[in-house]
Amino acid sequence: MPPSQKRARRYDPVRTRTAVLAQFSHVRAAVRTLTPQQLDRPSGLGGWSVRELAVHLTMALSHVSATLELPEPTLAKPEVSLLEWPFSTAGRADRIAEDTGALAAGSPDVDALYGEVADRFEASVPGAPEDRLLATRVGAMRLGDFLVTRTVELVVHTYDLNEATGLGIPYDRQALAACTRLLADALAEKAPGGSVEVRVPPFAVVQCVQGPRHTRGTPPNVVETDALTWIRLATGRTHWARELDAAKVSASGERADLAPLLPLMK
Q: Whole-angstrom Cα distance, residue 130 to residue 57?
A: 23
The SS3 assignment for 128 reads coil
Q: Where are the beta strands (DSSP E) in the chain?
A: 133-136, 139-142, 196-200, 204-208, 222-225, 249-252
pLDDT of residue 266: 80
CA distance 86 to 157: 15
Q: What pLDDT does residue 104 have?
A: 85
Q: Which helix (H) or strand (E) holds 97?
A: helix 93-105
Distance, in Å, from the CA atom of 198 to the CA atom of 68, rounded to the nearest integer, reads 36
Rounded to whole angstroms, how far apart are CA atoms 213 and 194? 5
Q: How far apart are CA 146 and CA 17, in angstroms?
A: 10
pLDDT for the residue 217? 61
CA 200/CA 206 separation, integer angstroms: 9
pLDDT digits (tens, 9 = 90+) for 214-248: 666 667 899 999 999 999 999 999 999 999 999 99
What pLDDT shows up at residue 5?
A: 42
pLDDT at 231: 98
| The pLDDT value given to residue 138 | 93
Q: What are phi and psi of 139, to 5 degrees?
A: 130, 170
Contact 34, 201 (CB under 8 A): no
Buried b or exposed e, range 62-73, using 16+ CB within 10 angstroms? bbbbebbeeeeb
Question: What residues in the chain have per-residue pLDDT under 70?
Answer: 1-7, 213-218
The length of the chain in residues reads 266
Residue-wise pLDDT for 186-199, tens only, equals 999 999 999 999 99
Domains of the chain: 13-174 (1.20.120.450), 191-261 (3.30.1050.40)
d(CA 225, CA 243): 9
